[in-house]
Amino acid sequence: MVRWLVTLSLGVVLLLGLFWSLQTTEKAKVPAAKVDAGSALEQVAWSSFPKPHNGAASLAQWADALRQSGIYYRRNPAKRQVRFGNYLTTMGKMAALTDQLAAQAALGDLDGLLHHLQAHTTLFRSVGSDGKGHVLATGYYEPLLHGARRADNRNRYPIYKRPKDLIEIHIQDFHPDLPKKKLRGRLEGKRLKPYYSRSQIDQYGKLSGRGLELVWVDDSVDLFFLQVQGSGRVALPDGSTMRVGYADANGQPYHSIGKFLIQQGEVAKEDMSLPVLRTWLADHPQRVDEVLNKNPSYVFFKEIKGGPYGNIGVALTAEHAIATDYRIFPRGAPALLVSEEPEFDSAKGPPKAWHPFARLVVNQDTGGAIRGPGRVDLFMGFGERAERIAGEMKQGGGALFFIAPKQLKHAPLAKPEPAKPASLWDRIKAWFGQLNGG
């Protein structure tokens, strides 16, 4: 690892490439945010809190999810800060909060829990995508694939492990004025290049023959959606099941293939869902590679025991764990999601109705497409029901609340002044002069 850092310091083109890549690919991946971690949440009165629909069984599951967050908080220094909008608390206080709420929830008394919340916690609400608190709620699930540990005529599509030549760059390591972003790439001579895209990996075999094949599966579309979900199970020929979880990604921007088909006029926007998308791909096998390659992002996996695990490293609880933008929302925090869920009247086909719900959940995951204060993804679990619900959910007009300890420190985020292009250019040249002894 030291060797590539030395190489990194030798070329001006490298950091310039990184910088301009950041300005282009990151903007493509993450639209310019109008809010930051300080303005994404606003403190609200408990009178604005919708009464949750959690019954006794659901409260028990919420308690399980809270205990998992407690594990996460205790892995970190007790005094490490956790931000709720313009307020701060600590990991230690969050661990105590999740313990208290888990104990209350385990009693199965919703009214008693709500009384405890109002007396001992502080409530925040996401400002949403419109500044009025509206969020778009989608769902995700743990898919089941079929495969084998060795390739054969049926199982021809590899799930890859993390390549050793995948390099992660923390841009702010070069200077505190640069954005707090990460880039991934690979060394080619003395230059850092973007890591291989989906088409380079799947169609041009850039990773084949390197011993990176974790397991082989029988369907390229299933493999694509495994990467979208981030974890899953693979049924093996001997009857056993292998669980795989997220290990890393190639750093290329995430592009929605559903959005691409809508833009091409192939599917109407109001009709788009996971089942509709799968049907279109099945009906157009000659275009599968073309469409999948519109998303250059690629996910690498590792075999896991238990799980699935979210981005805070704890097991997710079905229907009670959410994924949000980790840059602006507190990891592991208790929350309440207000949205709608579908009702089906047949084994196949679209929902016959949608029903509102307000559910206590916990913020334990993130996702490449989950960006900004107006997005939340609800983990539905494993199985056909989970896939059907997750595949249909894309409900706007919801709300997302977060629950914090009672005592908080008021600490608004300072608004950094944007660097002028000319002065930034001068600083980049100066940094490389220092790196090269000039």
Q: What is the mean pLDDT of the chain?
A: 89
Radius of gyration of the chain (CA): 23
Count of alpha carbons within 13 angstroms of residue 28, beta-carbon side: 14
Confidence of residue 138 (pLDDT cuts 50, 70, 90): very high
- Confidence at residue 423, expressed as pLDDT on a 0 to 100 scale: 56
Q: What is the DSSP letter of 30?
A: S
Across 323-341, b (16+ Cβ under 10 Å) vs e yields bbbbebbbbbbbbbbbbbb
Q: List the beta bridge partners of residue 146.
A: 235
* Whole-angstrom distance, CA of residue 127 vs CA of residue 143: 32
Number of Cα atoms under 13 Å in the Cβ half of residue 363: 28
At 175, is the pLDDT very low, low, confident or very high (cuts 50, 70, 90)?
Answer: confident
Give me the CATH topology for the region 33-162+212-255+295-407.
Answer: Barwin-like endoglucanases (2.40.40)
Q: What is the pLDDT of residues 108-131, one digit of tens each?
A: 999 999 999 999 999 999 999 999
Q: Quick: pLDDT tens for 280-322.
A: 999 999 999 999 999 999 999 999 999 899 999 999 999 999 9
403 band by pLDDT with thresholds 50, 70 and 90: very high
Q: What percent of the chain has pLDDT over 70?
A: 87
Is it the case that residue 201 has pLDDT exceeding 60? Answer: yes
307 CB-side CA count, 13 A: 23
**What pTM was estimated for this model as a whole?**
0.80
In this predicted structure, the answer to whether residue 420 has a pLDDT above a threshold of 60 is no
Is residue 432's pLDDT more than 90?
Answer: no
Q: How many Cα atoms within 13 Å fall on the side-chain side of residue 40?
A: 21
Cβ count within 10 A of residue 299: 24
Q: How confident is the model at residue 416 (pLDDT cuts 50, 70, 90)?
A: low
Structure tokens given for 66: 């809270």
Residue 24: band (very low, low, confident or very high) from pLDDT cuts 50, 70, 90: very low
**Exposure letters 172-199 (e unless 16+ CB within 10 A, then b):** eebeeebeeeebbbbeeeeebebbbbbb
Q: Would you kindly state where each structural domain of the chain is located, as residue ranges?
A: 33-162+212-255+295-407
For the stretch 48-72, pLDDT in tens is: 999 999 999 999 999 999 999 999 9
pLDDT at 28 over 90: no
- pLDDT value of position 312: 97
- Residue 367's pLDDT is 86
Give the tens place of pLDDT for each residue, 82-104.
Answer: 999 999 999 999 999 999 999 99
User: In the predicted model, is pLDDT for residue 14 greater than 60?
Assistant: no
Six token digits for residue 34: 């109008």
Q: With 90 as the cut, is the pLDDT of residue 151 above it?
A: yes
For position 22, what pLDDT does the model report?
41
pLDDT digits (tens, 9 = 90+) for 358-371: 999 999 999 888 99
Cα–Cα distance for residue pair 215/158, rounded to 1 Å:
6
H/E run at residue 243: strand 241-249
Whole-number pLDDT of residue 26: 38
Using pLDDT thresholds of 50, 70 and 90, give the confidence band for residue 21. Answer: very low
What six digits make up the tokens of 371? 């960006």
